Structure 1
Amino acid sequence: MDALRRLQQNLFSAEDEEGQQQEDDLLGDYQGLCNLSPIQRIYGFGGCLLAGLVFMLLSLVTFVRPIKFALLFTLGNVAAVGSTTFIIGPTQQFKMMFDRVRVLATAIYAGCVLLALICALLIHNKILTLIAIIVEICALTWYGLSYIPFARKIVSDMFIRVFDTEI
């Protein structure tokens, strides 16, 4: 139990100018708008991630209906990606998503999420919806690999060897 408390203290607190421990809030610089305790943040993260996984699993059940699949899968992805906002806060999440290393993957992912929803809800085109979902999965994978040191380089080298092309 002490290890969990120390981990919470290291993750969710910072030292101010005098060296005293100061609790960070969910919104970073906007103190007082929304304060969550470390346990509440972990519960929020777990709940949002679990909801995202449930939506993604339900989307597999409706795979034969691409429009329902796209809606559930996209909602699940957005919830799963958004769950980290409970841990690091929306400001830090936004900064990390639009970091120089991730900005292209973020833009493609966000564009494909919008495209999948437009194809599913407005156009009702199953083929375009599935293409948007496939590109969305690839962009989300590439985005996730950016958090692992040298992962993108390894995948890129693998593509060069296997397909004789570079990503």
Structure 2
Amino acid sequence: MDKLRRVLSGREENEELGLTAQVLDSSTLSYSTRVKWFLICFASGVLCSILGTALLFLPNGLKLFAVFYTLGNIAALSSTCFLMGPFKQLKRMFEPTRLIATCVVLLCLILTLCSVFWWHKKGLAIIFCILQFLAMTWYSISYIPFARDAVMKCFTTCLS
């Protein structure tokens, strides 16, 4: 309807849109493209994590493990940007229900790399990788309705 109105009024199509709107219109992805890139990015993240685990037992393998495992988690985390867009993803990451999980994930990513490259503490790097896994798992299940409650009930039932 807007196009018809623009044609009838004699205005060009791009004249009404600002530069930002033109860039956003030209950079939108179709649903199938978003799903394909999500799968590619997520699969590369999983592949990096597996490759890092395989490199763990080489000389200087702990550094490679920490880097590849961290890169894998970053790729898996950023893969969801293709599904919902980067701004919406960032907005949802820092919602009150996910704020602590997001901060712990980001902190563990940074501390893993710090423990390998600056502090040279192998045991600490492995602990932070384990914490990365647990934080990413907790963050991921926050997107599933009532999943956190189910996990908490399961743990409280097992412990009591």
Whether these two folds match at TM > 0.5 is: yes
1:117 aligns with 2:97: no
> Structure 1: 5+ residue runs without aligned partners?
1-15, 17-29
Query: Residue 140 of structure 1: SS of its match in structure 2?
Result: helix
* Structure that is richer in helix per residue: 2
The corresponding residue for 1:51 is: 44
Q: Give runs of aligned pairs for residues 124-135 of structure 1, distance below 5 A.
A: 124-135=120-131
Runs of 4+ in 1 over 6 A off after TM superposition: none
Q: Considering only CA atoms, is the larger Rg found in Structure 1 or Structure 2?
A: 2
CA distance in 2, matches of 1:46, 1:158: 30
TM-score, length of structure 1 as denominator length: 0.75
The corresponding residue for 2:81 is: 85
1:146 aligns with 2:155: no
1:106 aligns with 2:102: yes
Of 23, 36, 53, the residue aligned with 2:28 is 36
Q: CA deviation at 1:49?
A: 1.4
Q: State the Cα deviation string for residues 81-126 of structure 1 (Å, max 9, x = none).
A: 1011112111100011001110000000000000001111222211
**Matched residue type, 1:103:** L
CA distance in 2, matches of 1:145, 1:138: 11
Greater mean alpha carbon deviation, residues 43-52 or residues 53-62: 43-52
TM-score, length of structure 2 as denominator length: 0.78
Aligned length, in residue pairs: 136
CA distance in 1, matches of 2:56, 2:158: 29
CA distance in 2, matches of 1:148, 1:137: 17
